[in-house]
Amino acid sequence: MANKRICPVERAGSLDSRLRRLVQNPHTILQPFVQEAMTVIDLGCGPGFCTLDMASLVGPLGRVIACDVQTGMLDKLQAKIQGTDLEERIILHKCDNRNIGIDEKVDFILAFYVVHELADQQSFFKEVMAILKIQGALLIIEPPLHVSRKDFDETISIGQQAGLLVEEGPRVFLSKTILMKKAGKQQDNMKTT
């Protein structure tokens, strides 16, 4: 797959604008999916348009792993959370271009305006399958202009081939959305002696 264009750090201001917050409110979008005490990933977090809302939703017992391939984006997010009550719930993680690089299992992954920038969607979905807990969910939100219906359907199909189940995503202003879940029965904690 050809190298994709990555949103430059100079565009961070427009990603994190008040106007966007009015039409794509992260709290409203994410509230149905992010619960207290969850461990969640904000993949391709950029300057953190959604990160603080996710941290607020997971509460003091939860954690948000904010990942980005660009150190400049993570620096902007660090500056934003520094000294706030939410700082200790947020872990910043630098991904590399083809690898999220997280070992622990998580309940939820948000990929907001990110998947069309990924260098290799096949390996992304394989990694998502490995990272998600059983019943865990991946919410993909893509922009309408950069991503055609055909490309979006292809993304969904790659996710399904990796083993994810598809559910309807939430309505998000000017966006295409899909919710993908890792199936399977949650195992009870069995005591072995």
Ligand X SMILES: C[S@@+](CC[C@H](N)C(=O)[O-])C[C@H]1O[C@@H](n2cnc3c(N)ncnc32)[C@H](O)[C@@H]1O
Among 33, 112, 125, 152, binds ligand X (CB under 6 A): 112
3-state helix, strand, coil in the chain (%, to 5): 35, 25, 40
Strands (E), 23-163: 39-43, 63-68, 90-94, 106-112, 132-142
Q: Is 125 one of the binding residues for ligand X (CB under 6 A)?
A: no
Pairwise CA distance, residues 64 & 29, whole Å:
16
Q: Which is nearer to ligand X, 100 or 164 (CB)?
A: 100
Stretch 33-52 residues interacting with ligand X (CB under 6 A)? 43-46, 49
SS3 56: helix
Q: Is 175 one of the binding residues for ligand X (CB under 6 A)?
A: no
Burial class (CB in 10 A: 0-12, 13-18, 19+), 181: middle
Residue 129: CB minimum distance to ligand X, A: 16
Pairwise CA distance, residues 9 & 176, whole Å:
23
Size of the site for ligand X (CB under 6 A): 20
Among 117, 123, 133, 151, binds ligand X (CB under 6 A): 117
Q: Is 131 one of the binding residues for ligand X (CB under 6 A)?
A: no
Q: Is 70 one of the binding residues for ligand X (CB under 6 A)?
A: yes
Residue 113: CB minimum distance to ligand X, A: 4
Among 73, 77, 102, 109, binds ligand X (CB under 6 A): 73
**What stretch of H or E contains 152?**
helix 149-161
8 Å CB contact between 107 and 41: no
Residue 58: CB minimum distance to ligand X, A: 17
Pairwise CA distance, residues 111 & 135, whole Å:
17
Q: Which is nearer to ligand X, 71 or 160 (CB)?
A: 71
Q: Which residues bind ligand X (CB under 6 A)?
A: 6-7, 15, 43-46, 49, 67-70, 73, 95, 97, 112-114, 117-118
